[in-house]
Amino acid sequence: MPATAKLGGVGIFHLVNDRAMRARGLAGNHCVFVLELAGKLDPARLDVRLARAVSDLPELRFRLKSGFPPLLNPPSWVIDAGRPPPRADILTAGRDESAAVEARIEARVDGNTPWAVDLVRGDDHDLVLFRWFQPLVDGKGALRLVRWLGSGEPDEPVHPPPENERYEASERPLRDLDRDTRVALIRAYGNYALDLGKTPIMSLATVAPRKGNGGRMRFVRAVLTEDETVRFDARVRKIARLAETHVMLLAAARVVDRALQRRGYAPAQHIIPLPLSLDPKAGATRLLGNNLTMMLLSISRDDLADEARGIAHLAEQQRYIVRHKLDVGMLAALEFASRFPRPAYQWLADRPFHGEMASLVASNPGTLSIDAFAGVPVRDAYVLPAAVLPPGFQVVFTRFAGRLSAAVIYVDTVVSRGEAAMLAAELKAELCAESLMSGD
């Protein structure tokens, strides 16, 4: 790949969010990929593996170069050839592994050091944590990167993909578009977002004391058993082949809506941005870059009250977005806005929903297919992105080893630990409810 890699519109969006989150007293916009191993790793051999990985994949020495003005000198990744090989931080899990993971969510990675690996040592097994700066790579790429880092025997990953296949920053759909087409797509997407914004939304952060500023990132998981996952899949198939994500979004929106009602609010709609990968369905080798777009989806109070209506409405919106290329329009809008100074960028971002970004954030990256890391079997895996504030509440649905799970990531000044546990239990109940899918 070239000596520099342009960040891209989605990457700059994450960079702006990072700065905004730090201004609110949060650690920043980064993610943690958690692997629970079925055994122990040798820390010295792990460091050898990381050093060889960086030698084989120079892009792992990326450092963010932020230029000014952004129109003439956009942010880009450059390879810092003089950076010493990374070493894993060694930590002790203690009695509460979740607390150890939460502590590392607060450990900052940034443009200077955009990724890190932690080894959390338990009595009979270890956790491997891969932490990364959100502008560096999206979830799909991070899964492939972690899988590659843990590949091969005994201490060295297999050969990385060719240089021209390692980085992609969601610009491919825009490359062949002329100026007039881009302007038309930007205008169409802007009108769509402004039209959605005519109906007010409300996030849990907005109604929290101090709007959630100064909090810490926490998480709780709702994990379905294999039998519960099989029943969930069977019920989804009764609706439509592509209904899984819509069922998940509706379940998450209902949980947040009840939390708002307990606070005395009942917004007319909820807006959820849904990330969609632009990688090919099969054979993708990209390890770095944010190669995705997002769809803005609305869930009304009528949708919440009638599951069949809600799922049909979400499907209708998704078809409309694809038909009118609003997903490409969002990419074009982000690319256009990335040239603006940060205050202007933030004003544009705040405009559609009057300072709100979304009611909640939700994603469904699918199956985390990783069987082993450095030769040690993996018995559980999940992803924890930092919850952007606002809304300060995010749900990530993933599958591993035949089980569906939902990670609820939240800011503790927005939702208390006790309430978060209750919300996770409510979410699992929604996913397992017969009536949600069957209409019984």
State the 10-residue block means of pLDDT for the chain, 440 residues long.
80 94 94 98 96 96 81 85 93 89 94 97 95 97 97 88 90 92 97 96 95 95 97 85 88 98 98 95 92 96 94 95 97 92 86 93 96 97 95 98 97 97 98 61
Could you read off the pLDDT of 47-62 as tens digits, one per residue? 999 999 999 999 999 9
Q: How many domains does the chain have?
A: 2
Output the pLDDT for position 215: 94
Domain end point (choices 106, 131, 163): 163
* Residues 348 and 246 reside in one and the same domain: yes
* Residues 236 and 331 reside in one and the same domain: yes
Residue 381 lies in a domain: no
* Residues 295 and 419 reside in one and the same domain: yes
Output the pLDDT for position 350: 86
Domain end point (choices 142, 163, 184): 163
* Residues 131 and 34 reside in one and the same domain: yes
Output the pLDDT for position 171: 84
Residue 382 lies in a domain: no
Which CATH number belongs to the domain containing residue 213 in this structure? Answer: 3.30.559.30
Output the pLDDT for position 439: 41
Residue 373 lies in a domain: no
Residue 292 lies in a domain: yes
* Residues 268 and 147 reside in one and the same domain: no
Residue 178 lies in a domain: yes
Output the pLDDT for position 440: 39
* Residues 126 and 197 reside in one and the same domain: no
Residue 379 lies in a domain: no
* Residues 138 and 202 reside in one and the same domain: no
What domain range is 394 assigned to? 173-367+387-438
Residue 374 lies in a domain: no
* Residues 157 and 180 reside in one and the same domain: no
- CA triple 220-388-246, angle to 5 deg: 70
Output the pLDDT for position 436: 46
Output the pLDDT for position 71: 64
Which CATH number belongs to the domain containing residue 26 in this structure? Answer: 3.30.559.10
- pTM (2 decimals)? 0.94
Residue 121 lies in a domain: yes
* Residues 131 and 197 reside in one and the same domain: no
* Residues 270 and 208 reside in one and the same domain: yes
Domain end point (choices 136, 163, 190): 163
* Residues 135 and 202 reside in one and the same domain: no
* Residues 235 and 291 reside in one and the same domain: yes
Could you read off the pLDDT of 127-157 as tens digits, one per residue? 999 999 999 999 999 999 999 999 998 788 9
